[in-house]
Structure 1
Amino acid sequence: MDAIHTSALFIILLVLIILSAYFSGSETAMMTLNRYRLRHLASSGHKGALRAIKLLERPDRLIGLILIGNNLVNILASAIATIIGIRLYGDMGVAIATGVLTLVVLVFAEVTPKTVAALHPERIAFPSSIILQLLLTVLSPIVKAVNLITSGFLRLMCIHSQGSSDALSQEELRTVVHEAGALIPRRHQEMLLSILDLEKVTVEDIMVPRAELYAININADFKLINKQVIQSPHTRILLYRDKIDDAVGFVHVRDALRLQSKDQFSKSSLLRAVKELYFIPEGTPLNVQLTNFQQNKERIGMVVDEYGDIQGLVTLEDILEEIVGDFTTSMLPTPSEEIRKQQDGSYLIEATINIRELNKEMDWHFPIDGPKTLNGLVVEYMEEIPKPNTSMRISGYPIEVVDVGENRVKTVRVIPQHYKKSTTGLLKK
C-alpha cells in the first residue's frame, strides 16, 4: 500500500515540476515578447497576439498570477518531495529530498524552460495565453488581493509605481534600425537614419553660399542678361539689382525662353515673370524647413541672417538629397568633381566644398560644429587668409594651401595617409 502511495506521490511531483516549468517559461515568454511585433500581429488579427496584448495591458496582474501559480506548485512539490524522502530514507530523506528537488527544479523548471522561452517567446507565449487568460479569470480575486497588499506595502516604503512607456527615443530608434540587419536593406537603413538626423542639420549646412549663386543683375546690359539666361545651368535664375541682398525674385528659364520665342523678351517682361522670394531664417533645422516647404507650397528659398542679408539658397531637392542621397542636378559641383586624387595619394580639394559633404564622401572627420566650408575652417584656424604653400594640421589631417584668390582659399591639398589623431588638438607645423 505504501509503495502505491509513494508511486502516486512521484507522479504528482512530476506533474508539479511540469507546472512549475510551464509558469517559469510563460513568464519569460510573455515578458520577452517584442511589443512592436506584437502590435503588428494583433493589428492583422492574430488571436494569440490579441490575447497576449490583453494580458500585458495589466502586467502587475499577469506577473502576480504567474508568481502565485509558480510558488504554489513549488511549495507543494517541496512538501511532497519531503514526504517521499522521509519514506525512503528516514530522517536523512529531508536533506536528500531538498538537494535533489533543488537541482531538478533549477534545471528542468527554471533554466531550461526560461531559456527556451527567451529564444522562442511567441511559440511559448501565444499558446500559454489561453491557459493564463482562463487562470486569471478564475483566480482574479486572489490576484487582486495580492496586488492590493503589494501596492500598500510599496506606499508604506514611499515607492510609487509608474507605468512604463514603450515609446522609443531617437537614439533608441537609431539602435533598432542599426540592429535590424538583413530585415531592412542597408540603403533603407541609411535613409531612415538620415531622417532622424534632419533635426541636427540646419539650412546653412546644405545651402548654396551666396558667393556660388548663379544670379543675374537686372540692371546689367540687356545683351549680357539675354546671354546669361540662355547659358543658365539651372531651371530657376535669381534676379537682383546691383547686389545680391537687393534680390528681386526667381524667374523660371522656361518662362524666359518663351518670351524670347515670342520676341517679347525685355527687362520689363522678365520682371513681370518673376516669382516672389521665399525667405528662410538661418539656423532653421532641416526637419522644420521640410515642413515649412510643404505648408507654404514652396520649393526654393533664400537663407537670411538676423540682419536680413542673404547668406545662401536652399531647395527642397537639397533636403531630400540629405535623406535619399544625390539624385538631382545640384547648384554646386558634386563632391567627386571638387575632390581630385593625385598620384602620390594626396587629394586636391576645392576649398569651397561643404565640410559635411567632404566628410561623407571621404569618410573623414573634420569638425562640423564651426565653419561650413573647408575654406572657412582653414581661415578660422589660421586666424588670417593664409598664403600659398602654408601647411597646417587640422584634426590630425595634414593640409597644404595650394591656391588663394579673391580673399579666400581656393584649393588645398590633404594628405590622408599621414593622418594621425592628435591628443593635443589642432597643431600648426
Structure 2
Amino acid sequence: MTVAAILVLLGLSGFFSGSETALTASSRAKLRARADRGDAGAQAALSVTEDSERLIGSILLGNNVVNILAASLATALFTRIFGSGGVALATLVMTLLVLIFSEVLPKTYAILAPEDLASRVARPVRALTVVIAPVVAVVRMIVRGILALFGLRSDSGDHVFSVQEEIAGALAIGHSSGTVQKEERDRLLGALDLGDRSVEEIMLHRSRIEMIDAELPTQEIIDRVLKSPHTRLPVYRGERENVIGVVHAKDLLRGVSRIVREAGEAGVEGFDVLSVSMPPYFVPETTPLDEQMREFLARRTHFALVVDEYGSLRGLITLEDILEEIVGEITDEHDTEAAQILTPNAAGDYLVEGAMTIRDLNRALDWALPDDEANTIAGLVIHMAQCIPTQGQVFSFHGYRFEVVSRRENRLTRLRIRPLGETPAQAMADQ
C-alpha cells in the first residue's frame, strides 16, 4: 500500500513538473491559433497563464507537497525494513526516482511538445489553482513582503509574456541559425519598432527641404517644380519658416493648363500658385511612427511638416519615409540620391555620409551604435566630442573608430568608421 502511494505521488510530481514547463515554454501565438480553431484545451491554457504568479505558485506548492510526502513515506518504509540505515537508503532511492521520473523525463517531454501538453494539462491545473487559491494568496503575500524588504516590488498586473520580445527573440534565433535572412529579419523588426520611434528620428531636416517661394514669377515656379524629383513641395512667403501651403506637381500643371486654355499663355504670368496649393499639415516631432502612419492613412495624405514644441519648423516626413523603416530604401527613376552602398576599404574603414542615420548604419552592418542622444552619425560624433570636430580629427568611443573626412561649415559631411580590433579581412568577410 505504501509503495503504491509513493508511486502515485511520484506520478503527481511528474505531472506538476511537466505542466510547469509546458505552460511556461509554450508559444502563446500557437495556443491562440489553436484556440481560434476551436481547441478548448488551448483556450484553457491561455486563460490559466494570464496570472503567471498564481500559476507558478500553485504548481510549485503542489509539487513540493507531493515530493515531501513521497519522501516521508519512503523513509518510513525503508526504516521499517532496514532499520536506522534505511534513512540514507531512502534518500538515495527517492533522489534518483524524483530526478528521473518526476523532473527530467516529464520536463524533457514537455519541451518537445509544449503546446500539446499545455492544452491537455491546462484544465486540471486551472482546477488546482482554484482549490488552493487561498494558500497561494498567503504565500504570495509573504513573498512580496520579503521582496519589499529589499526594495523590490512584484506587480501582478505585469505580464511575463511579451509578444514583441517573443517575436524579436525568434527572429534573432532564426537569423543565427540561417533560417531567416537578414533582410527578412530587418523588415519584421522594423515593423515592430515603429511604436518605439518618433517622427524626429527619421524626418528630413529643414536644411535639406526643397521649397518654393510664393513670390517667385510663375514661370520660375513651374521650372523649379519640373526640375524637382519630388511631387509635393512646401510653399513659403517671406521666410522659410512661414510655410503657407503645399503644392502638388499635378495640381500645378492642371492649373496652368486651365489658364492657358482660358486666357492663353499671357494669362500664366498672373497665375497664383496658392490657388492650387493644399493647406500645410503640421505634426509634432515627438509623434510615434505607428501613430503617424495611421494618421497618414486616415487623412489620405502622404506628406507632413514637422514642428517642435515652440511651433518652429524642424523638417518634413512622408509616408514613404515610414515605409522605408520597414522595407528599406525605396528608389525610383526620379531619385537623385541613391542608397549608400557600404563597402570597407583595405584598412576596414567604411566611408559614410554624416547625415546617415545611426539606425540605418546599424541595420546595414549589424552594429550596435547607440542612438539615444543623436539620430545621425555626425550628431553622434559631435555629441561624444562635445564640440564640432575639424577635418582629420579621429575619435574612439563605443568600440568604434571615427575619422572626420570632410566638414562643410558646421556640418560633418563624411566620416570613416571601423570597429576597433577588427582586421580588414574580418571586415571584408562580414559583407
Q: TM-score, normalised by structure 2?
A: 0.71
Residue number in structure 2 paired with 1:20: 9
CA distance in 2 between partners of 1:362 and 1:65 (Å): 50
C-alpha displacement of 1:314? 0.6
- From 99, 111, 115, the equivalent of 1:119 is 111
Residue 278 of structure 1: how far off its partner (Å): 0.6
Of 20, 35, 42, the residue aligned with 1:31 is: 20
Following superposition, the deviation at residue 209 of structure 1 comes to 1.7
Retained in 1: the 8 A contact 2:308–2:314?
Answer: yes
Does the C-alpha gap of structure 1 residues 197 and 113 become closer, same or farther in structure 2, counting only changes over 3 Å?
A: same
1:127-138 aligned at under 5 Å gives the runs 132=124
Partner of 2:326 in structure 1? 323
Confirm whether residue 198 of structure 1 aligns to residue 194 of structure 2.
yes
Query: Structure 1 counterpart of 2:35, which letter?
Result: A
What does residue range 90-129 of structure 1 map to in structure 2 within 5 Å? 91=83, 94-95=86-87, 98=90, 101-103=93-95, 105-120=97-112, 121-122=114-115, 124=117
Task: Note if 1:393 corresponds to 2:395.
Answer: yes
Does residue 412 (structure 1) correspond to residue 404 (structure 2)? The answer is: no
Which residue among 403, 406, 409 is the counterpart of 1:402?
Answer: 406
- 1:45 aligns with 38
Change (3 A) 1:301 1:29: same
Structure 1, residues 143-167: CA drift from partner, whole Å, max 9, x if none?
Answer: 94x6646756876899599757535
Contact 1:398–1:419 under 8 Å retained in 2: no
Aligned residue identity for 1:240: Y
CA offsets 1:361-387 (integer angstroms, 9 cap, x no match): 45556654445445555666474584x
Q: State the SS of the aligned residue for 2:42.
A: helix
SS across alignment from 1:336: coil
Q: Return 249-258 or 112-121, whichever deviates more.
A: 112-121
Unaligned runs of at least 5 residues, structure 2 = 147-153, 262-267, 423-431
What secondary structure is seen at the aligned counterpart in 2 of 1:320?
A: helix
Cα 1:362/1:166, change in 2 over 3 Å = closer
Q: Distance in 1 between matches of 2:346 and 2:140?
A: 72
Checking the alignment, whether the CA contact within 8 Å between 1:401 and 1:409 is kept in structure 2 is no
- Kept in 2, the 8 Å contact 1:366–1:394? The answer is no
1:209 touches 1:312 (CA, 8 Å); kept in 2? yes
Which whole-Å CA distance do the structure 2 matches of 1:379 and 1:133 have between them?
58
1:302 to 292, 305, 318: 305
What is the letter of the counterpart of residue 27 of structure 1?
A: F
Counterparts of 1:157 and 1:372, CA distance in 2:
43
In the alignment, the residues of structure 1 paired with residue 389 and residue 84 of structure 2 have an alpha-carbon distance, to the nearest angstrom, of 92
**CA offsets 1:259-295 (integer angstroms, 9 cap, x no match):** 3444265563532110110112233332343344344
* 1:290 matches 2:293: yes
Instruction: Name the SS of the counterpart of 2:279 in structure 1.
Output: coil
Q: Partners of 2:164 and 2:60 in 1: how far apart? A: 30
Partner SS state of residue 312, structure 1: strand
Alignment partner, residue 271 of structure 1: 274
- Based on CA coordinates, which of the two structures has the bigger radius of gyration? 1
Q: Secondary structure of 1:245's partner? A: coil
Q: Partners of 2:347 and 2:91 in 1: how far apart? A: 74
Q: Provide the rounded CA distance (Å) in 2 between the counterparts of 1:351 and 1:95.
A: 74
Deviations 1:71-91 (A, max 9, x none): 5555555545555x25xxxx4
SS where residue 416 of structure 1 aligns?
strand
Once the two structures are superposed, the pairs formed by residues 50-69 of structure 1 within 5 Å of their partners are: 50=43, 52=45, 59=55
How far does the alpha carbon of each residue in 1:34-61 deviate from its partner, in whole angstroms, 9 at most, with x for none? 2614344333223543565677687466
Query: For the Cα contact (< 8 Å) 1:24–1:114, is it kept in 2?
Result: no
C-alpha distance in structure 1 between counterparts of 2:219 and 2:43, whole Å? 74
Distance 1:22 1:309, change over 3 A: same
Percent of residue pairs identical:
27
The 3 A distance-change label for structure 1 pair 284 and 20 is: same
Match of 2:360 among 343, 357, 360: 357
CA distance in 2, matches of 1:284, 1:152: 45
Seen in structure 2, the aligned counterparts of structure 1 residues 362 and 266 have a Cα distance that, compared at 3 Å, is farther
Q: Is the 8 A contact 1:81 1:101 kept in 2?
A: no
| Equivalent pairs, count | 392
| Aligned Cα root-mean-square deviation (Å) | 4.4
